[in-house]
Structure 1
Amino acid sequence: MDIIYLTITKDIAQIAFWLLAGALAILTYRQARRTVLQPIRTEVFKEQLKVMSETMSLFVGKSELPLRDDFSFSTLFDANACYLMDSYVASIFDMKFDPDQRPYSPTNCPMKILTMDPGNNSSKLKDSTGSQEEVSYSQVWVGHWGDYKMDRLFINKQYCEMNQKITRLLENPLLPIKLVELLSEYLTQAAKNQYLLIALLDQESKSLPAKFPALPIDHKVWSRELHGKYMQAFNHLKPIADEIVKFVRSYFEADNLKRL
Protein backbone atom coordinates (compact mmCIF):
# COMPACT_ATOMS: atom_id res chain seq x y z
CA MET A 1 0.00 0.00 0.00
CA ASP A 2 2.86 2.34 0.87
CA ILE A 3 4.40 1.65 -2.52
CA ILE A 4 1.15 2.68 -4.24
CA TYR A 5 1.03 5.93 -2.25
CA LEU A 6 4.65 6.63 -3.08
CA THR A 7 3.99 6.04 -6.79
CA ILE A 8 0.95 8.37 -6.77
CA THR A 9 2.87 11.02 -4.84
CA LYS A 10 5.74 10.77 -7.33
CA ASP A 11 3.39 11.12 -10.30
CA ILE A 12 1.69 14.14 -8.74
CA ALA A 13 5.06 15.74 -8.05
CA GLN A 14 6.14 15.18 -11.67
CA ILE A 15 2.91 16.65 -13.00
CA ALA A 16 3.28 19.66 -10.71
CA PHE A 17 6.89 20.06 -11.82
CA TRP A 18 6.04 20.04 -15.53
CA LEU A 19 3.13 22.40 -15.02
CA LEU A 20 5.37 24.78 -13.13
CA ALA A 21 8.13 24.43 -15.71
CA GLY A 22 5.64 25.07 -18.52
CA ALA A 23 4.25 28.14 -16.78
CA LEU A 24 7.76 29.48 -16.17
CA ALA A 25 8.67 28.87 -19.82
CA ILE A 26 5.59 30.76 -21.03
CA LEU A 27 6.24 33.66 -18.67
CA THR A 28 9.90 33.76 -19.68
CA TYR A 29 8.94 33.79 -23.37
CA ARG A 30 6.40 36.56 -22.89
CA GLN A 31 8.85 38.66 -20.92
CA ALA A 32 11.58 38.10 -23.53
CA ARG A 33 9.14 38.95 -26.32
CA ARG A 34 8.09 42.10 -24.51
CA THR A 35 11.70 43.07 -23.95
CA VAL A 36 12.60 42.54 -27.62
CA LEU A 37 9.55 44.27 -29.04
CA GLN A 38 9.45 47.21 -26.64
CA PRO A 39 12.15 49.23 -28.47
CA ILE A 40 10.32 48.62 -31.78
CA ARG A 41 7.03 49.74 -30.28
CA THR A 42 8.70 52.81 -28.84
CA GLU A 43 10.16 53.77 -32.22
CA VAL A 44 6.83 53.20 -33.95
CA PHE A 45 5.13 55.35 -31.35
CA LYS A 46 7.68 58.11 -31.85
CA GLU A 47 7.09 58.10 -35.61
CA GLN A 48 3.32 58.08 -35.09
CA LEU A 49 3.65 60.97 -32.69
CA LYS A 50 5.65 62.89 -35.27
CA VAL A 51 3.25 62.39 -38.18
CA MET A 52 0.14 62.93 -36.07
CA SER A 53 1.62 66.08 -34.54
CA GLU A 54 2.10 67.32 -38.10
CA THR A 55 -1.53 66.46 -38.76
CA MET A 56 -2.66 68.34 -35.67
CA SER A 57 -0.74 71.45 -36.75
CA LEU A 58 -2.92 71.68 -39.86
CA PHE A 59 -6.20 71.70 -37.96
CA VAL A 60 -5.98 72.47 -34.25
CA GLY A 61 -7.29 75.84 -33.11
CA LYS A 62 -8.59 76.81 -36.55
CA SER A 63 -12.06 78.14 -37.26
CA GLU A 64 -13.85 77.72 -40.60
CA LEU A 65 -12.28 80.73 -42.34
CA PRO A 66 -8.62 79.83 -41.64
CA LEU A 67 -9.33 76.29 -42.84
CA ARG A 68 -10.67 77.72 -46.11
CA ASP A 69 -7.68 80.04 -46.33
CA ASP A 70 -5.35 77.01 -46.22
CA PHE A 71 -6.72 76.14 -49.68
CA SER A 72 -7.31 79.82 -50.56
CA PHE A 73 -10.78 79.19 -51.93
CA SER A 74 -11.10 82.93 -52.56
CA THR A 75 -8.21 82.67 -55.03
CA LEU A 76 -9.82 79.60 -56.60
CA PHE A 77 -13.01 81.60 -57.07
CA ASP A 78 -11.27 84.71 -58.43
CA ALA A 79 -9.24 82.78 -61.01
CA ASN A 80 -12.19 80.88 -62.43
CA ALA A 81 -14.64 83.80 -62.31
CA CYS A 82 -12.05 85.80 -64.24
CA TYR A 83 -11.73 83.00 -66.78
CA LEU A 84 -15.50 82.93 -67.26
CA MET A 85 -15.69 86.69 -67.80
CA ASP A 86 -12.66 86.67 -70.13
CA SER A 87 -14.27 83.91 -72.17
CA TYR A 88 -17.51 85.88 -72.42
CA VAL A 89 -15.81 89.12 -73.46
CA ALA A 90 -13.56 87.31 -75.95
CA SER A 91 -16.54 85.53 -77.53
CA ILE A 92 -18.99 88.44 -77.62
CA PHE A 93 -16.71 91.44 -78.11
CA ASP A 94 -13.69 89.80 -79.76
CA MET A 95 -11.26 90.93 -77.08
CA LYS A 96 -7.95 89.15 -76.51
CA PHE A 97 -6.07 88.42 -73.29
CA ASP A 98 -2.59 87.33 -72.38
CA PRO A 99 -3.22 84.24 -70.21
CA ASP A 100 0.18 84.56 -68.56
CA GLN A 101 -0.97 87.85 -67.04
CA ARG A 102 -4.33 86.60 -65.79
CA PRO A 103 -5.26 85.07 -62.40
CA TYR A 104 -5.68 81.67 -64.08
CA SER A 105 -2.13 81.64 -65.52
CA PRO A 106 0.03 78.51 -65.12
CA THR A 107 2.05 80.33 -62.47
CA ASN A 108 -1.00 81.11 -60.33
CA CYS A 109 -2.87 77.90 -61.14
CA PRO A 110 -0.42 75.04 -61.78
CA MET A 111 -3.16 72.43 -62.10
CA LYS A 112 -6.59 72.21 -63.68
CA ILE A 113 -9.35 69.70 -64.15
CA LEU A 114 -11.67 69.01 -67.05
CA THR A 115 -15.34 69.17 -66.22
CA MET A 116 -16.41 67.20 -69.27
CA ASP A 117 -14.86 65.08 -71.97
CA PRO A 118 -13.35 67.21 -74.75
CA GLY A 119 -15.72 67.53 -77.68
CA ASN A 120 -18.60 66.17 -75.66
CA ASN A 121 -21.47 68.32 -74.41
CA SER A 122 -22.04 65.97 -71.49
CA SER A 123 -21.65 67.68 -68.13
CA LYS A 124 -20.38 64.53 -66.42
CA LEU A 125 -17.48 65.50 -64.16
CA LYS A 126 -14.09 63.87 -64.45
CA ASP A 127 -11.78 63.13 -61.55
CA SER A 128 -9.73 66.11 -60.39
CA THR A 129 -6.45 64.76 -61.75
CA GLY A 130 -5.99 67.23 -64.56
CA SER A 131 -2.60 68.29 -65.87
CA GLN A 132 -1.38 71.21 -67.90
CA GLU A 133 -1.28 69.06 -71.02
CA GLU A 134 -5.00 68.32 -70.96
CA VAL A 135 -6.28 71.82 -71.70
CA SER A 136 -4.29 74.49 -73.48
CA TYR A 137 -3.64 77.75 -71.69
CA SER A 138 -3.13 79.50 -75.04
CA GLN A 139 -6.51 81.22 -75.06
CA VAL A 140 -9.85 81.50 -73.33
CA TRP A 141 -12.98 79.82 -74.62
CA VAL A 142 -14.21 81.46 -77.85
CA GLY A 143 -17.36 80.55 -79.74
CA HIS A 144 -21.12 81.02 -79.88
CA TRP A 145 -22.01 81.90 -76.31
CA GLY A 146 -25.15 79.80 -76.38
CA ASP A 147 -22.89 76.75 -76.67
CA TYR A 148 -20.74 77.65 -73.69
CA LYS A 149 -20.17 75.07 -70.95
CA MET A 150 -17.78 75.45 -68.03
CA ASP A 151 -15.33 72.90 -69.42
CA ARG A 152 -12.37 73.42 -67.05
CA LEU A 153 -11.50 74.54 -63.57
CA PHE A 154 -8.15 76.11 -62.75
CA ILE A 155 -6.70 75.02 -59.41
CA ASN A 156 -4.71 77.67 -57.57
CA LYS A 157 -1.23 77.08 -56.15
CA GLN A 158 -2.33 77.27 -52.48
CA TYR A 159 -4.97 74.61 -53.05
CA CYS A 160 -2.40 72.34 -54.72
CA GLU A 161 0.05 72.81 -51.85
CA MET A 162 -2.51 72.03 -49.15
CA ASN A 163 -3.72 69.01 -51.09
CA GLN A 164 -0.13 67.75 -51.34
CA LYS A 165 0.48 68.21 -47.60
CA ILE A 166 -2.50 66.03 -46.71
CA THR A 167 -1.69 63.51 -49.43
CA ARG A 168 1.82 63.08 -48.00
CA LEU A 169 0.30 62.35 -44.60
CA LEU A 170 -2.02 59.78 -46.16
CA GLU A 171 0.94 57.98 -47.71
CA ASN A 172 2.52 57.33 -44.29
CA PRO A 173 1.99 53.62 -43.44
CA LEU A 174 1.99 54.36 -39.69
CA LEU A 175 -1.10 56.54 -39.88
CA PRO A 176 -4.09 54.85 -38.17
CA ILE A 177 -6.80 53.71 -40.58
CA LYS A 178 -9.43 55.89 -38.92
CA LEU A 179 -7.27 58.98 -39.41
CA VAL A 180 -6.67 58.02 -43.04
CA GLU A 181 -10.44 57.88 -43.50
CA LEU A 182 -10.96 61.27 -41.86
CA LEU A 183 -8.22 62.97 -43.90
CA SER A 184 -9.61 61.44 -47.09
CA GLU A 185 -13.05 62.71 -46.14
CA TYR A 186 -11.58 66.17 -45.59
CA LEU A 187 -10.06 66.22 -49.09
CA THR A 188 -13.35 65.00 -50.53
CA GLN A 189 -15.18 67.83 -48.77
CA ALA A 190 -12.74 70.34 -50.24
CA ALA A 191 -13.21 68.82 -53.70
CA LYS A 192 -16.99 69.20 -53.38
CA ASN A 193 -16.43 72.94 -53.24
CA GLN A 194 -14.54 72.75 -56.53
CA TYR A 195 -17.51 71.13 -58.21
CA LEU A 196 -19.87 73.55 -56.51
CA LEU A 197 -17.92 76.39 -58.13
CA ILE A 198 -18.05 74.67 -61.52
CA ALA A 199 -21.82 74.35 -61.31
CA LEU A 200 -22.27 77.93 -60.11
CA LEU A 201 -20.13 79.44 -62.88
CA ASP A 202 -21.77 77.28 -65.52
CA GLN A 203 -25.21 78.45 -64.38
CA GLU A 204 -24.07 82.07 -64.18
CA SER A 205 -22.70 81.97 -67.72
CA LYS A 206 -26.25 81.79 -69.09
CA SER A 207 -27.15 85.20 -67.67
CA LEU A 208 -24.07 87.14 -68.80
CA PRO A 209 -25.51 88.40 -72.15
CA ALA A 210 -28.47 89.99 -70.34
CA LYS A 211 -26.29 91.48 -67.59
CA PHE A 212 -23.52 92.75 -69.85
CA PRO A 213 -24.94 93.46 -73.33
CA ALA A 214 -22.34 96.12 -74.17
CA LEU A 215 -18.94 97.51 -73.29
CA PRO A 216 -17.51 98.76 -70.98
CA ILE A 217 -18.03 96.06 -68.38
CA ASP A 218 -17.58 96.70 -64.68
CA HIS A 219 -17.74 93.21 -63.24
CA LYS A 220 -16.70 93.99 -59.65
CA VAL A 221 -20.26 94.07 -58.30
CA TRP A 222 -21.09 90.94 -60.28
CA SER A 223 -18.06 89.15 -58.84
CA ARG A 224 -18.92 90.11 -55.25
CA GLU A 225 -22.50 88.93 -55.63
CA LEU A 226 -21.40 85.66 -57.20
CA HIS A 227 -18.83 85.10 -54.48
CA GLY A 228 -21.58 85.63 -51.91
CA LYS A 229 -23.64 82.87 -53.54
CA TYR A 230 -20.61 80.59 -53.49
CA MET A 231 -20.00 81.17 -49.80
CA GLN A 232 -23.67 80.57 -48.93
CA ALA A 233 -23.61 77.14 -50.58
CA PHE A 234 -20.08 76.27 -49.40
CA ASN A 235 -19.55 72.85 -47.80
CA HIS A 236 -18.03 73.57 -44.38
CA LEU A 237 -14.63 72.10 -43.52
CA LYS A 238 -14.55 72.60 -39.75
CA PRO A 239 -16.82 69.69 -38.69
CA ILE A 240 -14.42 67.19 -40.26
CA ALA A 241 -11.37 69.09 -38.99
CA ASP A 242 -12.80 68.87 -35.47
CA GLU A 243 -13.24 65.11 -35.88
CA ILE A 244 -9.60 64.81 -36.93
CA VAL A 245 -8.36 66.75 -33.89
CA LYS A 246 -10.65 64.78 -31.58
CA PHE A 247 -9.38 61.46 -32.93
CA VAL A 248 -5.69 62.36 -32.61
CA ARG A 249 -6.09 63.52 -29.01
CA SER A 250 -8.11 60.44 -28.11
CA TYR A 251 -5.67 58.09 -29.85
CA PHE A 252 -2.67 59.16 -27.83
CA GLU A 253 -4.32 59.77 -24.47
CA ALA A 254 -6.42 56.61 -24.37
CA ASP A 255 -4.45 54.05 -26.35
CA ASN A 256 -0.84 54.55 -27.23
CA LEU A 257 0.44 56.16 -24.04
CA LYS A 258 -0.51 52.97 -22.20
CA ARG A 259 1.61 50.92 -24.57
CA LEU A 260 4.89 52.63 -23.71
Structure 2
Amino acid sequence: MSITDWKDLTNIAFFLVGGTIATLTYLQARRTIFSPLKTEIFKSQLKAIEEVVAFFRASPGERVEDLLGLEEILDLNASRMTDAFVLAIHPEKVRPLDDRYDTAVGMVLKRERADKYLRKVDEDNSDDTSPVGEWADWELPGVEFTQTYADYRGRLALLASSPYLPEAIRIPLDAFAAACQSAVGKIGDAVEIAARDMEIRYPEPEDVARISYAWVWNIYAELMPQMDDLADDVMRAVNEYLDFDGALNLRGRGQSKTQEPKAPDAA
Protein backbone atom coordinates (compact mmCIF):
# COMPACT_ATOMS: atom_id res chain seq x y z
CA MET A 1 0.00 0.00 0.00
CA SER A 2 1.10 3.49 -0.74
CA ILE A 3 1.74 6.23 1.76
CA THR A 4 -1.53 7.90 0.63
CA ASP A 5 -3.49 4.73 1.44
CA TRP A 6 -1.93 4.58 4.90
CA LYS A 7 -2.89 8.21 5.52
CA ASP A 8 -6.49 7.51 4.49
CA LEU A 9 -6.70 4.49 6.79
CA THR A 10 -5.23 6.50 9.63
CA ASN A 11 -7.79 9.29 9.16
CA ILE A 12 -10.64 6.79 9.08
CA ALA A 13 -9.41 5.13 12.24
CA PHE A 14 -9.01 8.50 13.93
CA PHE A 15 -12.60 9.56 13.22
CA LEU A 16 -13.97 6.16 14.27
CA VAL A 17 -12.11 6.29 17.56
CA GLY A 18 -13.02 9.95 18.08
CA GLY A 19 -16.71 9.27 17.40
CA THR A 20 -16.70 6.35 19.81
CA ILE A 21 -15.09 8.46 22.54
CA ALA A 22 -17.61 11.28 21.95
CA THR A 23 -20.52 8.83 22.22
CA LEU A 24 -19.20 7.29 25.42
CA THR A 25 -18.55 10.77 26.85
CA TYR A 26 -22.13 11.84 26.10
CA LEU A 27 -23.56 8.70 27.72
CA GLN A 28 -21.46 9.32 30.80
CA ALA A 29 -22.53 12.98 30.85
CA ARG A 30 -26.15 11.94 30.79
CA ARG A 31 -25.60 10.02 34.00
CA THR A 32 -23.34 12.52 35.76
CA ILE A 33 -24.33 15.98 34.45
CA PHE A 34 -27.56 15.99 32.44
CA SER A 35 -29.62 13.93 34.88
CA PRO A 36 -29.09 16.32 37.84
CA LEU A 37 -29.72 19.28 35.55
CA LYS A 38 -32.92 17.67 34.30
CA THR A 39 -33.98 17.08 37.90
CA GLU A 40 -33.37 20.73 38.83
CA ILE A 41 -35.44 21.93 35.86
CA PHE A 42 -38.20 19.54 36.86
CA LYS A 43 -38.17 20.88 40.44
CA SER A 44 -38.28 24.48 39.18
CA GLN A 45 -41.18 23.60 36.93
CA LEU A 46 -43.14 22.09 39.80
CA LYS A 47 -42.46 25.16 41.93
CA ALA A 48 -43.79 27.43 39.17
CA ILE A 49 -46.96 25.31 38.95
CA GLU A 50 -47.27 25.33 42.74
CA GLU A 51 -47.16 29.15 42.74
CA VAL A 52 -49.95 29.29 40.15
CA VAL A 53 -52.11 26.96 42.25
CA ALA A 54 -51.40 28.98 45.41
CA PHE A 55 -52.35 32.22 43.63
CA PHE A 56 -55.77 30.92 42.59
CA ARG A 57 -56.42 29.22 45.93
CA ALA A 58 -55.42 32.23 48.05
CA SER A 59 -59.00 33.53 48.37
CA PRO A 60 -61.42 30.60 48.15
CA GLY A 61 -65.00 31.52 47.37
CA GLU A 62 -64.22 35.08 46.25
CA ARG A 63 -65.06 36.20 42.74
CA VAL A 64 -62.29 37.59 40.58
CA GLU A 65 -64.17 40.88 40.20
CA ASP A 66 -63.92 41.37 43.98
CA LEU A 67 -60.22 40.47 44.06
CA LEU A 68 -59.59 43.09 41.38
CA GLY A 69 -61.68 45.70 43.21
CA LEU A 70 -63.76 46.38 40.09
CA GLU A 71 -66.72 47.90 41.94
CA GLU A 72 -64.45 50.47 43.56
CA ILE A 73 -62.89 51.25 40.17
CA LEU A 74 -66.30 51.66 38.59
CA ASP A 75 -67.50 54.03 41.33
CA LEU A 76 -64.30 56.06 40.96
CA ASN A 77 -64.70 56.54 37.21
CA ALA A 78 -68.46 57.02 37.37
CA SER A 79 -67.83 59.80 39.88
CA ARG A 80 -65.48 61.46 37.37
CA MET A 81 -68.25 61.26 34.83
CA THR A 82 -70.72 62.82 37.28
CA ASP A 83 -68.37 65.76 37.88
CA ALA A 84 -68.14 66.35 34.14
CA PHE A 85 -71.93 66.09 33.87
CA VAL A 86 -72.47 68.69 36.58
CA LEU A 87 -69.97 71.03 34.92
CA ALA A 88 -71.67 70.67 31.53
CA ILE A 89 -75.35 70.55 32.46
CA HIS A 90 -75.62 72.11 35.92
CA PRO A 91 -72.67 74.52 36.16
CA GLU A 92 -74.38 76.38 38.99
CA LYS A 93 -74.23 73.25 41.14
CA VAL A 94 -71.02 72.99 43.17
CA ARG A 95 -70.22 69.32 43.82
CA PRO A 96 -67.80 68.56 46.67
CA LEU A 97 -64.61 66.76 45.73
CA ASP A 98 -65.14 63.00 45.90
CA ASP A 99 -62.80 61.23 48.31
CA ARG A 100 -62.76 58.26 45.92
CA TYR A 101 -60.20 60.14 43.85
CA ASP A 102 -57.58 59.55 46.55
CA THR A 103 -57.66 55.81 45.76
CA ALA A 104 -56.53 56.23 42.13
CA VAL A 105 -52.94 55.13 41.46
CA GLY A 106 -52.90 54.93 37.66
CA MET A 107 -54.91 55.04 34.47
CA VAL A 108 -55.57 52.77 31.52
CA LEU A 109 -55.71 55.04 28.47
CA LYS A 110 -57.07 53.96 25.13
CA ARG A 111 -54.40 54.23 22.46
CA GLU A 112 -56.59 56.23 20.09
CA ARG A 113 -57.14 58.85 22.80
CA ALA A 114 -53.52 59.28 23.84
CA ASP A 115 -52.79 62.13 21.40
CA LYS A 116 -55.97 63.88 22.47
CA TYR A 117 -55.49 63.82 26.22
CA LEU A 118 -51.72 63.60 26.76
CA ARG A 119 -49.34 66.54 26.41
CA LYS A 120 -45.59 66.89 26.60
CA VAL A 121 -44.38 68.44 29.82
CA ASP A 122 -42.51 71.18 27.94
CA GLU A 123 -45.61 72.36 26.08
CA ASP A 124 -47.52 75.49 27.09
CA ASN A 125 -50.26 74.10 29.34
CA SER A 126 -51.48 77.45 30.58
CA ASP A 127 -54.88 76.76 29.08
CA ASP A 128 -55.36 73.47 30.89
CA THR A 129 -59.14 73.49 30.83
CA SER A 130 -60.81 70.68 28.94
CA PRO A 131 -64.08 72.11 27.64
CA VAL A 132 -66.84 69.54 27.79
CA GLY A 133 -68.71 70.83 24.76
CA GLU A 134 -71.93 69.00 23.99
CA TRP A 135 -72.67 66.45 26.70
CA ALA A 136 -73.67 63.90 24.06
CA ASP A 137 -70.05 63.95 22.84
CA TRP A 138 -68.49 63.44 26.27
CA GLU A 139 -66.02 60.59 26.65
CA LEU A 140 -63.88 59.27 29.49
CA PRO A 141 -60.20 60.04 28.80
CA GLY A 142 -59.05 56.85 30.52
CA VAL A 143 -60.02 54.42 33.25
CA GLU A 144 -58.40 55.15 36.61
CA PHE A 145 -57.59 52.10 38.74
CA THR A 146 -56.72 51.43 42.38
CA GLN A 147 -53.83 49.83 44.25
CA THR A 148 -55.89 46.67 44.73
CA TYR A 149 -56.05 46.17 40.98
CA ALA A 150 -52.39 47.09 40.48
CA ASP A 151 -51.23 44.58 43.10
CA TYR A 152 -53.32 41.74 41.70
CA ARG A 153 -52.17 42.38 38.14
CA GLY A 154 -48.56 42.62 39.32
CA ARG A 155 -48.66 39.22 41.00
CA LEU A 156 -50.34 37.74 37.95
CA ALA A 157 -47.71 39.13 35.60
CA LEU A 158 -44.95 37.70 37.80
CA LEU A 159 -46.47 34.24 37.58
CA ALA A 160 -46.80 34.40 33.80
CA SER A 161 -43.18 35.54 33.40
CA SER A 162 -41.70 32.34 34.85
CA PRO A 163 -39.56 30.58 32.20
CA TYR A 164 -40.35 27.22 33.84
CA LEU A 165 -44.12 27.44 33.43
CA PRO A 166 -45.32 24.81 30.91
CA GLU A 167 -46.92 26.18 27.75
CA ALA A 168 -50.10 24.20 28.43
CA ILE A 169 -50.62 26.27 31.60
CA ARG A 170 -49.15 29.54 30.34
CA ILE A 171 -51.71 29.84 27.51
CA PRO A 172 -54.85 29.85 29.74
CA LEU A 173 -52.99 31.97 32.32
CA ASP A 174 -52.26 34.61 29.66
CA ALA A 175 -55.91 34.48 28.57
CA PHE A 176 -57.00 35.08 32.16
CA ALA A 177 -54.57 38.01 32.54
CA ALA A 178 -55.85 39.57 29.31
CA ALA A 179 -59.43 39.26 30.56
CA CYS A 180 -58.51 41.04 33.82
CA GLN A 181 -57.06 43.93 31.85
CA SER A 182 -60.05 43.99 29.51
CA ALA A 183 -62.37 44.11 32.53
CA VAL A 184 -60.97 47.52 33.47
CA GLY A 185 -61.32 48.82 29.92
CA LYS A 186 -64.95 47.70 29.86
CA ILE A 187 -65.60 49.93 32.88
CA GLY A 188 -64.83 52.91 30.66
CA ASP A 189 -67.32 51.64 28.06
CA ALA A 190 -70.01 51.18 30.72
CA VAL A 191 -69.45 54.68 32.15
CA GLU A 192 -69.74 56.25 28.69
CA ILE A 193 -72.95 54.33 28.00
CA ALA A 194 -74.34 55.50 31.35
CA ALA A 195 -73.40 59.10 30.53
CA ARG A 196 -75.95 59.10 27.69
CA ASP A 197 -78.75 58.59 30.27
CA MET A 198 -77.59 61.13 32.85
CA GLU A 199 -79.83 63.97 31.63
CA ILE A 200 -82.86 61.68 31.83
CA ARG A 201 -82.08 60.22 35.24
CA TYR A 202 -80.86 63.47 36.84
CA PRO A 203 -82.61 66.39 35.15
CA GLU A 204 -82.36 68.71 38.16
CA PRO A 205 -79.28 69.77 40.13
CA GLU A 206 -80.80 68.39 43.32
CA ASP A 207 -81.05 64.94 41.75
CA VAL A 208 -77.28 64.65 41.51
CA ALA A 209 -76.95 64.76 45.30
CA ARG A 210 -78.68 61.38 45.57
CA ILE A 211 -76.81 59.71 42.74
CA SER A 212 -76.11 55.99 43.00
CA TYR A 213 -74.03 53.91 40.62
CA ALA A 214 -75.85 50.59 41.00
CA TRP A 215 -77.48 51.08 37.59
CA VAL A 216 -74.06 51.76 36.04
CA TRP A 217 -72.84 48.45 37.48
CA ASN A 218 -75.78 46.70 35.83
CA ILE A 219 -74.61 48.07 32.48
CA TYR A 220 -71.07 46.94 33.22
CA ALA A 221 -72.18 43.45 34.23
CA GLU A 222 -73.32 42.90 30.65
CA LEU A 223 -69.87 43.84 29.32
CA MET A 224 -67.59 42.24 31.93
CA PRO A 225 -65.52 39.24 30.77
CA GLN A 226 -66.22 35.87 32.42
CA MET A 227 -63.05 35.86 34.49
CA ASP A 228 -64.16 33.16 36.93
CA ASP A 229 -64.58 30.69 34.07
CA LEU A 230 -61.13 31.60 32.74
CA ALA A 231 -59.64 31.09 36.21
CA ASP A 232 -61.18 27.63 36.25
CA ASP A 233 -59.58 27.00 32.85
CA VAL A 234 -56.15 27.67 34.39
CA MET A 235 -56.75 25.20 37.21
CA ARG A 236 -58.10 22.66 34.75
CA ALA A 237 -54.93 23.03 32.68
CA VAL A 238 -52.86 22.36 35.81
CA ASN A 239 -54.96 19.30 36.54
CA GLU A 240 -54.53 17.92 33.04
CA TYR A 241 -50.81 18.67 32.91
CA LEU A 242 -50.17 16.83 36.17
CA ASP A 243 -52.45 14.06 34.88
CA PHE A 244 -54.66 13.44 37.82
CA ASP A 245 -58.38 13.96 38.52
CA GLY A 246 -59.94 15.21 41.69
CA ALA A 247 -56.78 16.50 43.32
CA LEU A 248 -57.88 20.10 42.79
CA ASN A 249 -61.33 21.51 43.42
CA LEU A 250 -61.61 23.39 40.14
CA ARG A 251 -64.85 25.26 40.61
CA GLY A 252 -64.19 26.39 44.17
CA ARG A 253 -60.45 26.91 43.69
CA GLY A 254 -60.12 26.58 47.44
CA GLN A 255 -59.96 22.92 48.45
CA SER A 256 -57.74 19.97 47.63
CA LYS A 257 -57.83 16.24 48.24
CA THR A 258 -54.90 14.18 49.45
CA GLN A 259 -53.83 12.43 46.30
CA GLU A 260 -50.32 12.24 44.91
CA PRO A 261 -50.02 13.62 41.39
CA LYS A 262 -48.21 11.81 38.66
CA ALA A 263 -44.97 13.66 38.02
CA PRO A 264 -44.76 15.13 34.51
CA ASP A 265 -41.84 14.48 32.27
CA ALA A 266 -39.15 17.06 32.76
CA ALA A 267 -38.82 19.66 30.05
**Is TM more than 0.5 here?**
yes
CA RMSD, Structure 1 to Structure 2 (Å)? 3.5
Is contact 1:186-1:237 (8 Å) kept? Answer: yes
- Residues 58 and 240 of structure 1: CA distance in aligned 2, closer, same or farther (over 3 Å): same
Is contact 2:172-2:237 (8 Å) kept? Answer: no
Give SS of 1:103's match: helix
Is contact 1:76-1:156 (8 Å) kept? Answer: yes
Amino acid corresponding to residue 221 of structure 2 in structure 1: M
The residue aligned with 1:112 is 107
Amino acid corresponding to residue 117 of structure 1 in structure 2: R
Q: Which runs of 5+ in 2 are unaligned?
A: 1-15, 245-261
The residue aligned with 1:3 is none
Is contact 1:71-1:159 (8 Å) kept? Answer: yes
The residue aligned with 1:87 is 84
Q: How does 1:41-190 map to 2 (within 5 A)?
A: 41-60=38-57, 65-94=62-91, 95=94, 97-98=96-97, 102-105=99-102, 108-115=103-110, 116-118=112-114, 120=116, 142-144=131-133, 145-190=135-180
Amino acid corresponding to residue 230 of structure 2 in structure 1: I
Q: CA deviation at 1:257?
A: 4.3
Amino acid corresponding to residue 244 of structure 1 in structure 2: V
* TM, length-normalised to structure 1: 0.70
Is contact 2:41-2:266 (8 Å) kept? Answer: no
The residue aligned with 1:8 is none
Q: Quick one: distance in 1 between partners of 2:200 and 2:265?
A: 67
Q: CA deviation at 1:248?
A: 2.0
Q: How many residues align?
A: 221
The residue aligned with 2:219 is 229
Is contact 1:179-1:244 (8 Å) kept? Answer: yes
| Cα deviation code 1:89-146 (max 9, x no counterpart) | 2333333654xx53133xx12110223425659xxxxxxxx9xx8xx9xx99652323
Q: Indicate yes or no: 2:208 matched with 1:213.
A: no
- Identity rate of aligned residues, in percent? 19
* TM, length-normalised to structure 2: 0.69
Amino acid corresponding to residue 93 of structure 1 in structure 2: H
Q: Quick one: distance in 1 between partners of 2:228 and 2:237?
A: 14
